[in-house]
Amino acid sequence: MADRLLDIANHLSQKKANDSVESFEAAKSPSVGMTNSSVIDGEIDPEKKPLRVSVIGGGNWGTTIAKVVSESALEYPTLFDINVRWWVHEEDIVYKGENHPAKISYILNNFHENVKYLPGVRLPDNLHATGNMFEAIEDCDILVFNVPHQFLGSIIDTHITPILKEKSQQLGRETTFRGDVVARHCIAISCLKGFHINLDDPKDLKIQLLSDFIDEKLNIPTGSLSGANLASEVAKENFSETTISFPPRYVTDKDHVSVKCNSIAHPHDPKILKTLFHRPYFHVRVIDDVAGVSVAGALKNIVALACGFVKGLGWGDNAAAAIQRIGLQEITKFGIKYFPASKMETYYVESAGVADLITTCNGGRNVKVGKRYAEMYLEGNREINIGDLEKEVLNGQSAQGIITAEEVNQWLEFKNETQDFPLFSCVYKCLFEKADLTEIPSMLDTE
Ligand SMILES: NC(=O)c1ccc[n+]([C@@H]2O[C@H](COP(=O)([O-])OP(=O)(O)OC[C@H]3O[C@@H](n4cnc5c(N)ncnc54)[C@H](O)[C@@H]3O)[C@@H](O)[C@H]2O)c1
């Protein structure tokens, strides 16, 4: 009976959902009390389906966001397909008390807990993990990318490109990601932190937002999500805020909007995005500054490493505040200079800006690694390999500030502008050129 009522509610909502705002409100509030006779009116468009959501990435943040969207799918079954599909990088792990290792997707689907990357958190039953990319993303409407950014290119090349090739062979024509693999109107949201440095021509390096990289590789409109969000706290459902940005050109672009949408709503509608990610404990603001959100999210990880250094050196809160102030200054300068579309207010007003900087510099992995690095330095160890230390401290998770510091330095050297970003350069020199950590104040004394 309950299923039948849900079907009726689904049909009714789908029928109402032909035009954006009204349809959205209708779909959000299913009319579960309607009688059977209301549904037999012949006007239901059987082609219209709830939006199918897929998540790519099963690390600490990937798992947390998969939990968030699965909860929303359960809450709004008329708007979203309740089955949320989830691609995870397969590895063999041992579940507590078991004797033999099993694939992580098996453990996730059977025990509903990510014992390796998010232990102790029960995951919703409507979240379905798989190591098979096609199974995870076929025909989806909203694709959420959430992997450490160093794996993004290889995941696309190893798991998505072959799907396109196989489809081309099957169909005997050239295929496109949108339309042949995911829905034609599919959009993506990137939860990644970092940049893509295009090295194709060493004399003409290009720095790219990861959302633009995804868009360029797969030709899919891509927004970004970032905020003051330590995954473990969001997973425990402690209150936090986040910022989602989606490129306005797609919201207003008639061509994209007019792509035939066989779902009950357009996935790029900001209200849809808000409904999918917003939870009582996870508050979402949707804005249109993709560059600002992405730049702030990437660069704060470098600042957090420096905060870890001063904590490890035992220099106290004044030093940490100084690092954050200089860090904020360099983040905004970098954003405005190299991504002029970004807006100053995003850095100061949004969760993705200063709030994320504060939370990341107070705790989190980059601080942990930076702190341990400085402690070992004080113990006299001058040959610390940062990659090895990251593995030792984080057990397979990654501190994105390390690779971002390297990439940003590469970019600044190419632009011959390292001197304009003393904090970013200082972090790079400490980690990769064995600079003396006790010289941090003089490295920052550039005025
Ligand atoms: N953890 C947080 O608190 C947090 C919060 C906000 C944003 N982020 C960002 O989220 C993104 C994802 O990070 P995370 O915390 O989910 O990851 P993680 O560091 O916890 O886990 C690493 C992930 O990478 C996968 N992996 C390992 N080797 C791989 C390979 N060769 N190919 C593909 N995947 C491989 C692992 O299976 C695992 O899922 C990062 O950009 C991070 O900066 C993290």
Q: Please name each of the domains of the chain with its CATH number.
A: 49-288 (3.40.50.720), 301-444 (1.10.1040.10)
| Segment 292-320, tens digit of pLDDT | 999 999 999 999 999 999 999 999 999 99
Percentage, residues of the chain above pLDDT 70: 88
Q: From atom 26 of ligand 1, which residue's Cα is the shortest distance away? A: 89
Q: What is the pLDDT of residue 46?
A: 67
Share of the chain above pLDDT 90, in %: 79
Atom of ligand 1 nearest to the CA of 61: 16
Cα distance between residue 403 and residue 302, in whole Å? 9
Q: What is the DSSP string of 204-236?
A: G-EEEEHHHHHHHHH---EEEEE-S--HHHHHT
Contact in structure between 397 and 60 (CB atoms under 8 Å): yes
**Averaged over 102-129, what is the pLDDT?**
97
| 343 Cβ contact partners less than 8 Å away, ≥ 6 residues apart | 289, 292
Q: Residue 265 — pLDDT band, cuts 50, 70, 90? A: confident
- Mean pLDDT for 26-32 is 44
Radius of gyration of the chain (CA): 23
**Residue-level pLDDT at 155:** 98
Report which secondary-structure segment, H or E, holds 92.
strand 92-93
Annotation marks residue 300 as catalytic: yes
Which atom of ligand 1 approaches the CA of 149 most closely?
A: 41
pLDDT confidence bin for 16, thresholds 50/70/90: very low
What residue's CA is closest to ligand 1, atom 34? 89
Predicted confidence band of residue 266 (pLDDT cuts 50, 70, 90):
confident
**313 CA to centre of own chain:** 32
Catalytic residue among 15, 193, 300, 429: 300
More confident residue, 437 or 201: 437
Confidence bin at 12 (pLDDT 50/70/90): very low
* Exposed/middle/buried for residue 7 (C-beta within 10 Å: 0-12, 13-18, 19+): exposed
Residue nearest to atom 35 of ligand 1 (CA): 89
**10 Å Cβ neighbour count for 270?**
18
Q: What CA–CA distance (Å, rounded) separates 227 from 297?
A: 7
Distance 147 CA to ligand 1 centre (A): 4
Q: Once rounded to an integer, what is the mean pLDDT over residues 237-254?
A: 85
Q: What are phi and psi of 382, to 5 degrees?
A: -105, 5
Tokens representing 166 are: 């196989």
In this structure, the dihedral spanned by the alpha carbons of residues 60, 61, 64 and 66, taken in order and rounded to 10 degrees, is -110
Q: Which two tokens stand for residue 36?
A: 């059977």
Q: Which range has the worst mean pLDDT, 23-37, 246-260, 325-339, 371-385? A: 23-37
CA of residue 82 relative to chain centroid, distance: 21
> Band of the pLDDT at 257, cuts 50, 70, 90?
low
* pLDDT exceeds cutoff 50 at 177: yes
pLDDT at 28 over 80: no
CB 198 within 8 A of CB 208: yes
- Give the closest residue (by CA) to ligand 1 atom 44: 61
Give SS3 for 130.
strand
List ligand 1's pocket residues with C-beta within 6 A: 57-62, 89, 91, 117, 146-149, 151, 154-155, 191-193, 229-231, 397-398, 400
- Give the burial string for 332-365 (b: 16+ CB within 10 Å, else e): bebbbebbeebbeebbebbbbbbbbbebbbeebb
Distance 117 CA to ligand 1 centre (A): 9
Ligand 1 centroid to Cα of residue 229, in Å, is 14
What tens digit of pLDDT does each residue of 37-87 get? 223 334 546 678 999 999 999 999 999 999 999 999 999 999 999 999 999
Q: Kindly give the distance from the C-alpha atom of residue 146 to the centroid of ligand 1, in angstroms, as a whole number.
A: 7
Question: Percentage helix, strand, coil, to 5, in the chain?
Answer: 55, 15, 35
* Cβ count within 10 A of residue 218: 22
For ligand 1, the distance from its centroid to the CA atom of residue 15, given in whole angstroms, is: 40
* Average pLDDT over the chain, rounded to an integer: 89
Confidence of residue 259 (pLDDT cuts 50, 70, 90): low
